[in-house]
Amino acid sequence: MGKKIVAMILAGGKGTRLLDLTEKVAKPAVSFGGKYRIIDFPLSNCANSGINTVGVLTQYESVLLDEYIGNGEKWGLNGVHSLTTTLAPRQTDKGMAWYTGTANAIYENLEFLDSTEPDYVLILSGDHIYSTTFNDMELLHSESKADLTIAVYPVPWEEAHRFGILVADKKGKIVEFQEKPANPTSNLASMGIYMFKYDVLKDALIRDAKNPKSEHDFGKNVIPMLLGEGKKLMAYKYEGYWKDVGTVSSLHEANMDLLPSNKNLSLEKIFNGNVIYSEDYSAAPQFVSRYAKIKDALINQGAFIYGEVTHSVISNGVYIERGAVVENSVVMAGAEICKGAVVRNAVIGPNAFVKEGKKIVGTSKEIALFVEKEEK
C-alpha cells in the first residue's frame, strides 16, 4: 500500500436478527462456512492487503471475540512491524459510556489513531462476507486526492430503496447521498467501507461529537456533512462477492453459496484468489462411515458422518448418527444429530443436540434455527 493505512473494524454489533445465535456471542464471532468465523474475512482482507495495523472495536459480548482475535497471530498481524488490538469502550475521566454510533466508536479511539500516525484510515464492518484486497481502492483514493472514498456495490434496482445510495458522476465523484430513497436515481449501495484522509476524518469526528442533534453515525451524519461542505468524495465500485449476513436466512444463503452445485458461484469466485485465515482446531481428520450418504456438501475436519448429508455445510466436531438426515442445512461446530432425526432447511447452532427422531424443518423462505444443547 502506498501510504500508511490503519484499519478500524467495527465489530461491536449485537446482531439481534440472528436471534439465539448471538445470545451470548457477538455477531462477528458467529461461525461461517464450516471452519471460519465472520470476523476472519475483514481481518484476512487487511492481511492480504499489506495493512499491518488493525484496531477491532468490540462492545456486545466481547469476551469470546477478544479471545479469538488474541494478538492477531491467525492473520499474521502480530509481528514486530504489525499490530492487532481490540478496542472496547473504556472508563475515562469523562466517565463510562458505550459506543453510541459508528462515528462515535471511531471518535472514542482517536488517541489510538494518533499514536499510529496514519495517512489514511480504512473503516470496515466486522460482519460482512467478502474476500478482496484494498490496494485498488487505495490507488483510486490517492490518485484522485479524495478526502473520502466509499466502496459501493451495484444492487438490483428493485432493491435499491433498502440501502444508503450514492450518486456519482462519470468520473466516480460522489455528488449525492440518498438514505433508503423511495425513488432512487442510482443503484450504487454503500458497503460501509470508508477510506479517509486521517486529518479530514479527525476533524469531522470532533465536530460531529459536539453536535447534540447528531446520531454520530457515518451514513446518517458524517458523510452528508462532508458532502454538504464540498469535500471530495469518490466511489470505488466493488464487483466481487459480498454479503451482509444479518439474518438467519442470509447466513444460511451465504453458506449455501459455497457448495459445489452452485452454478453461478464457487469457492474460487467467492475467495477471489485470496486466503482466508482462521483458527486451526487441530482436530482429527473427518470420518465418513461406509453407511454414510453424502452429496454436494462441505465437511470440515473432525466431523463424523454416519448418516445422510445433502447440500449442506458441516463444521468441525459435528457428529451425525446413522439414520439421521441432513438436507440444505448448516450444522455448526460440535453439534450432534442423533439417529432418526431430520434436519432440513435449517441452521443448527454450535454444540446443539438434536435428539433421536426429532425433526427440525424449515422452508426455503423461512430457515429453521435450533440451538438447544443436551440436558446433562
pLDDT digit string, tens, across residues 260-315: 888 778 778 888 889 999 988 778 899 999 999 999 999 999 999 999 999 999 99
Dihedral sign, CA of 306, 279, 241, 273? negative
Residues 327-342 pLDDT 10s: 999 999 999 999 999 9
pLDDT at 89: 84
Give the span between the Cα atoms of 211 and 275, in whole angstroms: 42
Over the chain, what is the mean pLDDT? 92
Cell of 225: 456533512
Give the span between the Cα atoms of 255 and 313, in whole angstroms: 7
In this prediction, residue 222 has a pLDDT band, given cuts at 50, 70 and 90, of very high
Residues 164-191 pLDDT 10s: 899 999 999 999 998 888 999 999 999 9
Q: Which helix H or strand E contains 6, and what residues bound it?
A: strand 5-10
Does the structure show a pLDDT above 80 at 92? no
Does the structure show a pLDDT above 60 at 2? no
Query: Of the candidates 309, 311, 304, which has an alpha carbon nearest to the alpha carbon of residue 333?
Result: 304
Least confident of 147-151, 211-215, 242-246, 267-271: 267-271
Give the span between the Cα atoms of 104 and 98, in whole angstroms: 9
Does the structure show a pLDDT above 70 at 121? yes
> Could you tell me which residues are beta bridge partners of residue 167?
176
Least confident of 54-68, 75-89, 144-158, 209-223: 75-89
Percent of the chain scoring above 90 in pLDDT: 72
pLDDT at 267: 79
**Contact status, residue 192 vs residue 125, Cβ threshold 8 Å:** yes
In this prediction, residue 162 has a pLDDT band, given cuts at 50, 70 and 90, of confident
Query: Of the candidates 303, 294, 305, 242, which has an alpha carbon nearest to the alpha carbon of residue 272?
Result: 242
Neighbouring CB atoms inside 10 A of 243's CB total: 16
CATH match for 5-249 among 3.40.50.1970, 3.90.550.10, 3.90.1010.10, 1.20.1260.10: 3.90.550.10
Measured CA to CA in angstroms, residue 184 lies from 3, 178, 269 at distances of: 35, 7, 29
CATH match for 281-370 among 2.160.10.10, 2.60.40.1730, 1.20.120.10, 3.60.10.10: 2.160.10.10
Query: Of the candidates 204, 275, 260, 258, which has an alpha carbon nearest to the alpha carbon of residue 233?
Result: 204
71 or 7: which carries more pLDDT confidence? 7
pLDDT at 14: 75
Give the start-to-end residue ranges of the domains of the chain.
5-249, 281-370
State the DSSP string of 109-173. THHHHHHH--SEEEEEESSEEE---SHHHHHHHHHTT-SEEEEEEE--GGGGGGSEEEEE-TTSB
For the segment 55-62, the average pLDDT, to the nearest whole number, is 89
Query: Of the candidates 374, 367, 326, which has an alpha carbon nearest to the alpha carbon of residue 352?
Result: 374
Cell of 53: 495495523
